[in-house]
Structure 1
Amino acid sequence: MPSLQFSSLKLHWQILIALILAVVIGLSVGRDGGIFGLSFYAIFSFIGQLFLNALKMLIVPLIVSSIIVGMSGFGGSEHLGRLGAKTIGYYALTSLLAILIGLLFANLIQPGQVDGHPAEVFGLSADTATVQATLGDRDASDVVEVFLRLIPTNIIAAAAEGQMLGLIFFSLLYGFFLARLHEDQRHVQRQFFTGLFAIMLRMTDLIMRFAPIGVFALVAKTVAETGLAAFGPLALFFLTVTVALATHILLVLPLLLYVIGRVNPLAHYMAMSAALLTAFSTASSSATLPITLDCVEQNAGVSNRTSSFVLPLGATVNMDGTALYECVAVLFIAQAYGLELALGTQFIIVLLALLTSIGVAGIPAASLVAITVILSAVGLPLEGVGLILAVDRLLDMLRTAVNVFSDSCGAVIIARSEGEALAASYALKAPAIQN
């Protein structure tokens, strides 16, 4: 039967088929299509929200149990310090490379250089009131807030509000001191969190069985709402961001895998396919974290000791795609207003994009908030954000996939540097770089 044949396909193929069907059906039914008085858009929204809620339901217990189990397995503080230094170094390197790639393509293609006023050429009115309503009362202080969010006053409230950075910091401390308890106390607590982590992985497997349906609903809703009309006036900007993101995920990150990690990049693409497609459809690194952990541990063979430290932290602070997007967007807005930014100003943009990609993580409309911070710092009008709102959602899906892939590459590279044996498919054929 067709249903049995479909269920026998690997998960990433099921999700890919769901994506293609979602685009076709979303374009066909549009925002107003329906049946028996019920709009398809409402159906897509309901199913997609159910899937997102199920994923988000796992985040807090999964992060807590995963980090605590991983941290409690460290032999000493020197191992933790080494792993932390490697993780931070990798995240800083890849984010900086992503921003420089965005800077390069924004200057080469110059998507914002047009004749006439941007409101006329792009067919969009940069309504300041609308933009401010979308962004809320956010300003440059959000960059500083990252340090305050690191140490929450109430860990339960932080978890309920989705403040993952504080939750991760607390879990790291808890796991670190758990490893230093007396044997009888350590054994009981470690057994509890190990069991909790195992349960969360089983729940993740259950929810992932419905991933093709959830992905279909989320993407169909987005396509039905936006269609393809928004691409016309902003096609060059969309192309610039897409090409820059593709360069980072198809060239830079595979090179890091090959040269530094000494692993087969093609094998890693296959191992992470389900997580990448889920990240694309949900546009949320945090919501994708359960699948990312599952793919990295089960498919790539990375130990929980490494993945439980690297991936939750990466889902919160490592935003390669977001940082790249911020840089291109600010340059696009400057070009649209006919401004030539000096090299010094572009350097400030690079630095601010690196900081804000970390500083505003976890805030709704995080990229738009970060862009306003950068625009204010370099003296550009905030209403310029209105020029990119039409395509922001679709580009958000693309840059989230890049964010997740970068996190997974970091886990694999760091695991290899720690001497871990990965899945057999990761072995390189080139003798010159084999261990």
Structure 2
Amino acid sequence: MSSDAADAGEKKAALSLQWQMLGGFLTGLIAGLIVYMAAPDARWVDTVATYVTGPIGQVFLRLLFMLVIPLLVSALIVGIAEMGELRSLRRVGLRTLVYTLVVSGIAVVLSLVLVNLLRPGAGVDPAQAQALLADAGQGAKAILNRGGDTPTGVEAVLAIIPDNIVAAMAGNDILAVMVFALFFGIGLVMVQTDQSKLLLNAMEGLFEVTMRLMGLVIRLAPIAIACFMFNLAAQFGWDLLIRLSAYVGVVLLALALQMFGVYSLLIAFVARRSPLRFFAAVQEASVMAFATASSNATLPTAIRVAEEKLYLPRRIARFVLTIGATANQNGTAMFEGITVIFLAQFFGVDLSLGQQLMVMAVCILGGVGTAGVPAGSLPVVAMILGMVGVPPEGIGLVLGVDRFLDMCRTALNVTGDLVAATVISAGEDDGREEARA
């Protein structure tokens, strides 16, 4: 009873935080629009942004960046290692890992193609964008302590493999750090000894501690979002709302194409099932995911749907769905990719092909290692923005609509887990008979 009460309390607190974030978004937006219309050139506005709202936002970002490396490293290592923690399911675990990386890659590529074609962030006043970019970019550069040009070509490929992991962490080279975590997690899958289990337990402990600390930092998000939105709205005015509406539309379009396009093809040609029957069977789990905006809360329903309606092998369905609740997050990866490119367009930052490929790689790995806390993708998005020279303050623009988008991408995440379980089960000999037994 005490455990159930604690879970209920956490869900209630998370929902309350979402409403507080929405409140901060609206407060900052309305105040900024009022200032934009009433006193667009007043000096006191710059003073407030420089000495009040700006520093508050910077404190929030610094706390995020302080925790993001240990959080992502531990989350990715644990997520990968858990795929092979059962010897009897090691082959299934490796297939799940490969499937997750490939399908997440397809999701991110689709997202980047759409956001580059439709360009929802383009069209704002270039002078205003460059002015705010210059002011905010200094804060981001100070936080990340990054200097020099972004490597291109062969250098960019080599740079993702760190020759010194400590130096990569100190330099906030997030992609190199995540590649190290990926290999480290695979190593833990391959080595099944008492010592490796102790190491995995230590990583789980680090993950739990950093998640708790990140949860405390996220509680400051409503205030930070209000400050971010005030600065953005006072600078860009009504263009902000137009660009935000276009951004939401692109995110929803990308999620729909992944759901009914990519997943339908996987079900039809890989799992050799009827997509219409599949979507009819998983409807209950998808609706539950949309309503709760939580993959973990939907997990019992997803397992029951997999066993009773899709007739998947019990051991495979439970393994894949349990791992998928935290590791196979196509919707989250798509959200992160679209958000980064959208904000780059909004602030007038032209990203090279190499930079966009780097964004894609981080989003793929971030979909595996994103923490399951409210606004859990926030640290990943903020870090990628800093890496490509976009002000991390821009996250305030998208967090105001994150609750609705979170519901949509969670529905995609859970449906994607069921697709993964169906595809992976299709190659197993014990197939439906075990599930029917």
TM-score normalized by the length of structure 2: 0.56
Q: For residues 420 and 275 of structure 1, what CA distance do their matches in structure 2 show?
A: 24
Within the candidate set 387, 391, 398, 2:408 is matched to 398
| Aligned residue in 1 for 2:34 | none
In the alignment, does 2:424 pair up with 1:375? no
Contact kept, 8 Å, 2:349 with 2:390, in 1: the verdict is no
Q: For residues 398 and 106 of structure 1, what CA distance do their matches in structure 2 show?
A: 18
| Aligned residue in 1 for 2:42 | none
Q: For residues 127 and 374 of structure 2, what CA distance do their matches in structure 1 show?
A: 27
Q: One-letter code of the match for 1:111?
A: P
Residues 304 and 115 (structure 1 numbering): CA distance in 2 closer, same or farther, change over 3 Å? same
Q: For residues 154 and 323 of structure 1, what CA distance do their matches in structure 2 show?
A: 23
Q: How many residues align?
A: 276
Within the candidate set 88, 92, 97, 2:97 is matched to 88
In the alignment, does 2:328 pair up with 1:279? no
Cα offset, 1:104, TM superposition: 0.7
Q: Which runs of 5+ in 1 are unaligned?
A: 1-66, 121-125, 132-138, 164-228, 424-435
Larger deviation: 79-88 or 374-383? 79-88
Q: Secondary structure at the match of 1:388?
A: helix
Within the candidate set 347, 357, 377, 2:357 is matched to 347
Within the candidate set 248, 251, 257, 2:261 is matched to 251
Offset from partner CA, 1:127-174 (integer Å, 9 cap, x none): 99xx9xxxxxxx7769577869982339799789989xxxxxxxxxxx
Q: For residues 161 and 335 of structure 1, what CA distance do their matches in structure 2 show?
A: 32
Q: Which runs of 5+ in 2 are unaligned?
A: 1-81, 130-134, 141-171, 189-198, 213-237
Residues 420 and 328 (structure 1 numbering): CA distance in 2 closer, same or farther, change over 3 Å? same
Within the candidate set 304, 310, 317, 1:294 is matched to 304
Cα offset, 1:363, TM superposition: 4.1
Contact kept, 8 Å, 2:333 with 2:367, in 1: the verdict is yes
In the alignment, does 2:161 pair up with 1:112? no
Contact kept, 8 Å, 1:99 with 1:327, in 2: the verdict is yes
Cα offset, 1:365, TM superposition: 1.6
| Aligned residue in 2 for 1:151 | 200
Q: For residues 336 and 71 of structure 1, what CA distance do their matches in structure 2 show?
A: 44
Q: For residues 128 and 375 of structure 2, what CA distance do their matches in structure 1 show?
A: 23
Cα offset, 1:71, TM superposition: 8.7
Contact kept, 8 Å, 1:127 with 1:386, in 2: the verdict is no
Cα offset, 1:390, TM superposition: 1.7
Q: One-letter code of the match for 1:305?
A: R
Residues 118 and 93 (structure 1 numbering): CA distance in 2 closer, same or farther, change over 3 Å? farther
Q: One-letter code of the match for 2:391?
A: P
Identify the structure with the greater helix proportion.
Answer: 2
Q: For residues 422 and 273 of structure 1, what CA distance do their matches in structure 2 show?
A: 20
Q: How does 1:400-419 map to 2 (within 5 A)?
A: 400-419=410-429
Offset from partner CA, 1:289-332 (integer Å, 9 cap, x none): 11111111111111211112111111111110110111110000
Q: Secondary structure at the match of 1:366?
A: coil
Q: Secondary structure at the match of 1:234?
A: helix
Q: For residues 250 and 239 of structure 1, what CA distance do their matches in structure 2 show?
A: 16
Offset from partner CA, 1:321-359 (integer Å, 9 cap, x none): 110111110000000011221111111111111112222
| Aligned residue in 2 for 1:321 | 331
Residues 161 and 115 (structure 1 numbering): CA distance in 2 closer, same or farther, change over 3 Å? closer
Contact kept, 8 Å, 2:312 with 2:425, in 1: the verdict is yes
Offset from partner CA, 1:48-91 (integer Å, 9 cap, x none): xxxxxxxxxxxxxxxxxxx99x998xxxx5x5332122211111
Q: How does 1:12-411 map to 2 (within 5 A)?
A: 77=87, 80-116=89-125, 143=178, 151-153=200-202, 233-411=243-421
Larger deviation: 360-369 or 284-293? 360-369
Cα offset, 1:234, TM superposition: 1.3
Q: For residues 415 and 241 of structure 2, what CA distance do their matches in structure 1 show?
A: 26
Q: For residues 391 and 404 of structure 1, what CA distance do their matches in structure 2 show?
A: 21
| Aligned residue in 2 for 1:25 | none
Residues 337 and 155 (structure 1 numbering): CA distance in 2 closer, same or farther, change over 3 Å? closer
Offset from partner CA, 1:366-392 (integer Å, 9 cap, x none): 222110121122222111212212211
Q: One-letter code of the match for 1:152?
A: N
Residues 303 and 238 (structure 1 numbering): CA distance in 2 closer, same or farther, change over 3 Å? same
Q: For residues 154 and 409 of structure 1, what CA distance do their matches in structure 2 show?
A: 29
